[in-house]
């Protein structure tokens, strides 16, 4: 059985050759010591930790799972020790401000490292991953006292954080939440209510857990306009920032899940727990989106990591497993059969996984540069443009990368045949773990409505137009490339970008007469945009690979030739899927809405 290995060569290509991060970081004075040598070394050390510490816990953690008792939740054997090593090595503090004990590296470095951790052991990676969102939320919206009291130990990893949104009667529709926050004379609040599906809500890895909780004040308006945000620690924190008495928040139970079994998904009971308001009263949802958007980027990366893990394992198996003969010339005449990698349908599955894994890595790198700009660029206009592009691309990344990650995990299992269905190979675990990414932090349908309804229709296309222009400008710049395949690919991408614009206008006109047209079109619209985005990124990779080969100086010509051939596979075999999505959405809402509810079943 082949274990996960961090794809360092492809990461270095993506970040340093394709997107030139070495020069990207030079535009920010606070990152003047961040260079390629340093970050490549960080990638290498992260790979060592993942492969030597996290990978060995991957299956055992799934088999054992987390254990609930009235005393708390116990993580699987080895997780607490692994987390202590994680903290001691400084991984939680990597991309946080030096003013609060962080190492001051760019956020883009952390997003790259998240892929390695997720692919090695997603359940483990979720514990510090959620803490990251809690840190960003407190840093962006907390008071000086809250930052002083909580941020340092979250950054060090001594404490961890959670996101507490969902209640049993409301998932995505947060306007229905009932958790109450009663004010106290000292400025604190007592929170009462129950939250469900809280990842890492209780565990034995850290000394304290800082819950970021949505609740309602007594005089709050109804709906989303009456939601406030609170810090609620597991243990109260004294004036010196140290753990004090136990707060009235407890884990009532843990969920029995399909996957990510080594991460505790908790029912959290707040029984008059002491909390502290973050941001302005009734403006909590706006503050919470700092956490939500951070988490959505993390989930997108999880989807890409599942594609990489499935691809690595199925590729190794396909090279080793002997079954039948090649239909053409025998590849291994001395053996009883050929390795299954010779068969076209196995190659279809492998190349699909490869194109999604490497395409997702490129999308993460593309978005990560925008995260850096949004966070620290000195020019307000540049920050606003990056923020707009992230607003557009985050729902695409979250939904498309999780959808294709799950597809890739399934294809990886399929490459193994019956052995993929057997637990010890790790393929069925990858499928089970991957499935949640299409659900939490907003389902694919929710992301689609957010993209088309709120981000595009809500801005009258303002956030979409610059992205379309960027794609069209790239196609125009390279349309005369000497490589005929690249020429043809760019012609198709340019056409598809124009198609996306036309579809947007068409949907908008239909929606003026019938608002349901937006919901009916949204999923197919998002998937079309996702396939187009990956095509754009693969075209960028093909152009770069051709440039390197034309220079004639590389010692790894096969690496770059593989980029060109994978780009061609994506364009000819995967990109045509976008046409089916465009045809489907153009049929409108009637075929979805004309069946009466009582006609669905008899």
Whether 273 and 247 have beta carbons less than 8 Å apart is answered as: yes
Which sign, positive or negative, has the C-alpha torsion 95, 97, 102, 105?
Answer: positive
CB 306 within 8 A of CB 430: yes
Measured distance CA(199)–CA(257) in Å, rounded: 12
What is the spatial distance between Cα 272 and Cα 180, in angstroms, rounded to a whole number? 9
Half-sphere exposure of 266 (CA within 13 A, CB side): 30
DSSP state of 377: -
User: Which helix (H) or strand (E) element contains residue 251?
Assistant: strand 249-254
Q: For residues 192 and 270, is the Cβ–Cβ distance under 8 A? A: yes
Query: What DSSP character marks residue 342?
Result: G
Given the residues 308, 441, 517, 568, the one annotated as active site: 441
Nearest CA among 232, 218, 215 for reference residue 285: 215
Q: Quick one: which H or E segment has residue 406?
A: helix 380-415
Q: What span, in angstroms and rounded, lies between the C-alpha atoms of 361 and 372?
A: 17
Question: How open is the CA angle 433-436-440, to the nearest 5 degrees?
Answer: 145
Strand 189-199 vs strand 265-278: parallel, antiparallel, or unpaired? antiparallel
Distance CA 361, CA 502 (A): 29
First to last CA, the chain: 48
3-state class (DSSP) for residue 211:
strand
264 Rama sector, left if φ>0, alpha if ψ -120 to 50, beta otherwise: beta
- The angle, 0 to 180 degrees and rounded to 10, between the axes of the packed helices 577-586 and 516-551 is 160
Active site residue 115: no
- Nearest C-alpha neighbor of 108 from the set 173, 177, 16: 16
Residues 6+ apart with CB under 8 A from 10: 358, 361
Q: Are 374 and 393 in contact (CB under 8 A)?
A: no
C-alpha to C-alpha distance for 393 and 384, rounded to whole angstroms: 14
Catalytic residue positions, numbered: 441
């Amino acid at each position: 059985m082949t274990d996960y290995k961090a794809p360092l060569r492809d990461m270095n290509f993506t970040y340093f050759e394709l997107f030139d991060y070495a020069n990207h970081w030079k535009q920010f004075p606070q990152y003047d010591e961040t260079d390629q040598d340093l970050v490549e070394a960080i990638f290498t050390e992260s790979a060592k930790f993942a492969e030597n510490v996290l990978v060995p816990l991957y299956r055992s953690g799934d088999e054992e799972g987390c254990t609930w008792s009235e005393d708390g939740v116990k993580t699987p054997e080895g997780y607490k020790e692994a987390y202590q090593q994680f903290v001691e090595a400084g991984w939680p503090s990597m991309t946080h401000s030096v003013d609060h004990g962080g190492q001051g590296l760019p956020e883009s470095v952390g997003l790259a490292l998240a892929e390695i951790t997720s692919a090695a052991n997603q359940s483990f990676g979720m514990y510090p991953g959620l803490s990251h969102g809690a840190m960003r939320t407190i840093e962006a919206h907390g008071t000086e006292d809250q930052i002083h009291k909580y941020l340092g130990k979250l950054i060090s990893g001594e404490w961890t954080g959670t996101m507490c949104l969902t209640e049993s009667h409301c998932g995505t529709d947060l306007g229905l939440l009932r958790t109450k926050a009663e004010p106290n004379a000292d400025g604190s609040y007592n929170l009462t209510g129950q939250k469900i599906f809280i990842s890492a809500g209780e565990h034995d890895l850290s000394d304290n857990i800082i819950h970021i909780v949505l609740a309602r004040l007594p005089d709050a308006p109804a709906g989303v306009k009456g939601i406030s945000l609170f810090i609620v620690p597991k243990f109260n924190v004294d004036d010196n920032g140290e753990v004090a008495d136990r707060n009235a928040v407890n884990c009532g139970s843990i969920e029995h899940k399909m996957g990510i079994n080594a991460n505790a998904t908790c029912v959290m009971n707040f029984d008059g727990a002491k909390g502290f308001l973050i941001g302005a009263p009734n403006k909590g949802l706006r503050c919470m989106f700092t956490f939500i958007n951070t988490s959505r980027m993390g989930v997108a990366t999880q989807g890409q990591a599942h594609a990489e893990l499935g691809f690595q394992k199925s590729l190794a198996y396909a090279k080793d497993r002997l079954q039948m003969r090649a239909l053409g010339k025998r590849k291994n005449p001395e053996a009883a059969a050929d390795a299954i990698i010779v068969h076209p349908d196995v190659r279809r599955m492998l190349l699909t996984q490869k194109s999604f894994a490497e395409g997702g890595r490129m999308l993460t790198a593309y978005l990560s540069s925008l995260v850096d700009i949004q966070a620290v660029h000195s020019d307000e206009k540049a920050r606003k443009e990056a923020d707009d592009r992230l607003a557009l691309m985050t729902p695409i990344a979250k939904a498309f990368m999780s959808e294709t990650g799950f597809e890739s995990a399934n294809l990886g299992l399929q490459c193994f045949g019956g052995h993929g269905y057997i637990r010890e190979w790790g393929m069925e675990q990858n499928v089970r773990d991957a499935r949640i990414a299409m659900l939490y932090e907003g389902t694919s349908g929710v992301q689609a409505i957010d993209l088309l309804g709120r981000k595009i229709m809500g801005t009258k296309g303002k956030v979409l137009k610059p992205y379309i222009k960027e794609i069209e400008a790239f196609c125009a710049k390279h349309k005369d490339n000497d490589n005929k395949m690249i020429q043809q690919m760019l012609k198709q991408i340019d056409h598809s970008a124009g198609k996306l614009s036309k579809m947007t206008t068409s949907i908008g006109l239909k929606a003026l007469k019938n608002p349901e047209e937006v919901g009916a079109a949204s999923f197919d619209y998002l998937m079309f945009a996702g396939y187009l985005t990956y095509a754009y990124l693969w075209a960028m990779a093909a152009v770069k690979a051709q440039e390197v080969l034309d220079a004639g100086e590389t010692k790894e010509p096969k690496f770059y030739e593989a980029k060109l051939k994978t780009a061609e596979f994506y364009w000819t075999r995967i990109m045509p899927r976008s046409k089916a999505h465009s045809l489907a959405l153009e049929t409108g809402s009637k075929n979805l809405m004309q069946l009466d509810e009582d006609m669905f079943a008899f």
